[in-house]
Amino acid sequence: MPNRELPKQPTIVSLNPCADAILAEIAAPGQLLAISHYSHAERSASMPLEEARRFAATGGTAEEVLALSPDMVVADTFLAPATRAALEEAGIAIHSIGIAQDLEASLGQIAALGEATGNAQEAARLSSDIASAWASASYEGEPVTALLIQEGDIVPGATSLAHAMMERSGFVSLSAARGLGQGAHLPLERVLADPPDVVIAAGSGRMLDHPVLSQLDGLERFELDSTLLYCGGPTIPRALARLGEIRALIHHPPTPSSEEEGETVASGQNPLLFRGGGMGVVP
């Protein structure tokens, strides 16, 4: 059956968690009939759960989608052939999206979804917000070497969006500098032989859980919500904000309270103010 003639703002079922987050921002009220079940799960959602749960969710089966009778389905490029065939037979339009590997691709993805769903103006607003966050995140100081470790001990490559966000936030990616590709594994032995300044943990794995990593002198460790790295789109400003927080904390120990400072002076030691507000002591 040929696709139905689409209205200006077609009703939509999204089967892709990255599209879920975009469509939740740009779709008109009542236009987005359901999102993917991934967005209702804390470990796989790329949008706040309270926002995701405003929408129904499907498991992605043709039967569930057909029961909602949408005008359009947004899915990734790996949609099962049998599901695709069933939807096309019912005359449902299918809009496919891939993985956005950089800012330009992510903004292009938003624009394409806006055009396809009749929400070009809202898509432009969202893209503008993301571009502004990107511009504001530019770090002008000295970069530090960081190893970003994602779920399962994989690391980002030089062509990934995660790498671009790290660079933007004042980090040199250790894995990219070693020439590793997206999703590669960096052996613990190589990390120990030439450790970074900072480890950013975005998930769990054998390397992150290994006690020797925490015993390296001077190595700082910070946490990054792994769901901020699954997609581009609306997660980019939140990921940049967290990376900016981490960069601001590096080499900046907490300033002691006035009571602690008083005790230091009373003990006959001379306080020495370090860059960043930290307080050391000189005998």
pLDDT digits (tens, 9 = 90+) for 105-158: 999 999 999 999 999 999 999 999 999 999 999 898 889 999 999 888 888 888
Three-state DSSP class for residue 173: strand
- Sign (positive/negative) of CA torsion 129, 135, 141, 143? positive
Beta bridge partners of 185: 154
CATH number at residue 201: 3.40.50.1980
Task: Tell me how many domains the chain contains.
Answer: 2
Q: How far apart are CA 172 and CA 166, in angstroms?
A: 7
* Dihedral over alpha carbons 153, 150, 112, 55 (to 10 degrees): 120
Contact 31, 91 (CB under 8 A): no
Q: Are residues 99 and 168 in the same domain?
A: no
Is 82 in the same domain as 147?
A: no
Is residue 37 domain-resident?
Answer: yes
Radius of gyration of the chain from Cα atoms? Answer: 23
Calculated CA dihedral for residues 34, 35, 37, 41, nearest 10 degrees: -120
What is the identity of the amino acid at 76?
D
Domain range enclosing 129: 12-134
Query: 65 and 88: one domain?
Result: yes
Question: Are 212 and 171 members of one domain?
Answer: yes
- Report the alpha-carbon distance of residue 61 to residue 3 in Å, rounded: 19
Q: What is the pLDDT of residue 227?
A: 93
Q: What is the pTM of this model?
A: 0.82
pLDDT digits (tens, 9 = 90+) for 30-71: 999 999 999 999 888 989 999 999 999 999 999 999 999 999
